Chain A
Amino acid sequence: MAKKTKKTTKKPTSKKRTSKASKKAAGSDGATRPARNPKTTEKTRKRVISLAEGVVKSSLAGREPKLEVPTRALSNTKWNKSRRILQMGSAAQERQLFNLNQSKKFMQTLLHAKGVKELLDRDKTSSLRGMFYQGLHTISGTKEKTFDDQSESDGILEDLEVSLGSLREELHIFAKKRGTMVGNITVVDNGDEIDCRRMGTGGYAIPSICEPSVIQFKDVQADFVLHVEKDTVWQRFNEDRFWETHNCILTEGSGQPPRGVRRMLHRLNKELGLPVICLLDCDPWGHYIYSVIKQGSISLAFESERLAIPDARFLGLRAHDYERCDLSDDVQIDLNDRDIKRAKQILDYPWFKGDRGWKKEIQLLLKNGFKMEVESLITKDISYVTEVYVPERLEAEDWLA
């Protein structure tokens, strides 16, 4: 599917590019396996069953039942320099039933495996929260519940994903919607055409599953994608019709963008060749959001190939903007110890370490001793960010890559 894009130039002319939900293309690229494909479903089903079969087999043989869960930690991520993405290493943890620390997780993993099979069997999808409730019950004879809270359940589902080697979508699970989109594009969402130029003030909510089988692109006129950190900034841009004036797509990820948003950005970039430009806060967390968009996250390193956008750019806010834009003292927010620690950690990541611009950027942030939010530009003028700041930077191509 990605191959369908003809050009990936930086500033494409407004050409009409169409991306069809193509079953033909599906499967040709491992990164874009469509969900709800009967074949994939069958494959996933088999994987789920074989997971349990392993447990049954060793239990009946009197051996200790174990599950192998690839490690989702920094130690098991590899920075693929040539592809410029984070990839998961081969390290795996054994999850053992007869280990006090893992016993409950073991049980939960199987519980969710059971839930997933049910979803697959009945061809339904469920939310993370739905899965939490599906697996939730009180263990007979005790007062203990199978899950303490949803975050526990979510972690188990991620484990299940990695250990099965199947994507969440393939397990028929979706996350809560987060993130919004407007712009010069029309998408087909499960057969419904949605014109993102006519989304009012609310915008199109980016669904959790953005696989080609669900979402197809149609009538794309935008030249690039501007991704902002938060809803508030996005509102400013939408109100000022920035996407119209600059012919772009405007997305927002409510902080750390969820997988749906990242997948959407990835597809816009890879399939349509649209550059992704990020406008994020000037603090370690903003930098990390950029890092996740660019190279993938540590905990979802196994999905980097279909989520990471190595060409994404960081437009702002930059540490030197305080002086360059002549901002008032009031916008400074002091860095706390955690921020400093985090900044140093980020500076140490191999994918930042080799980049001079980023090194300087973070060092300046540390030297400044304060962070700034995008909203701080409002102190200049309400629409300073849409009318001056971003256009100027875009024009000058003043960004970090």
Chain B
Amino acid sequence: MPIYDQRYRRYEARNPLRELRFWPITREALKLVVARRAFLLLLVAAWIQFVARTIQVYVVTRFPDAGRVLPVDGRLFGEFLSGQLGFALLVSVFGGAGLIANDLRTGAILVYLSRPLTRVDYILGKLAALMSLNLFVTLAPALMLWIVAVSLAPEQFASLKLMWLPLAIVLHSLVISLAMGLMALAVSSLSKSARVAGLAFAGLFIGLEIARGVLRGMFRTPETGLISLQGNLHALGNALFGIQHRFFNQPWPLAALALVVMAALCLWVLRARVRAVEVVQ
């Protein structure tokens, strides 16, 4: 067509290259994190409890008297997942602190959002990376432990009475990973330094928990635990696995509501901070 016949044409952005637009972000974020040897060591260390619990299940199945001291039932998995919270914190700090902070520092966020990607895709991509890492230290070892327990004591763990266990494990692991992931990302979006974001997230996580301890000492009511992310995750786990705990005994519906409020707050922070513009002051 001759050039003088060319008319103004409306620009049409190309269609997204794939259905799951967030996947390249997740893949690249995972590649960057997993390339660090120290992080791999941390992931391996997160399985130490799995080994210890496997030994516990083995000992109790071979010597039933030991079950009086170390009971092996559904509660084992709730306690296991509560024990993994510390590793979930470390994994979130190591893997999640820089996810948005580094993009804000280098200006890469503008490059991301100038591609055929929406803000939701960007956040989903980062969240999926962090959730995968968290699930690797919660869901994977817990499910593996359940398989080991079923294999060693099928008459106990493969019974109808405990058929709900895998579902509870998946549900609690997903809640832990989602809550930790959202909070880590929200804190990461508030700073341009991965180190500051990591320490701020750890400070928030631990600070709210110690504030819970102080409030409990002051008011002596279980509802004081609602301010702590850790406390709410424990309370939800206790309800799912039927654990009676002396300290994390706030009502589970309230704990679930508190987690929803925390998640909504994190999403609001992410919505405000993840933008395709940079305000230069």
Please indicate whether A and B come from the same complex rather than being unrelated chains. Answer: no
Chain B residues with CB under 8 Å of chain A are none
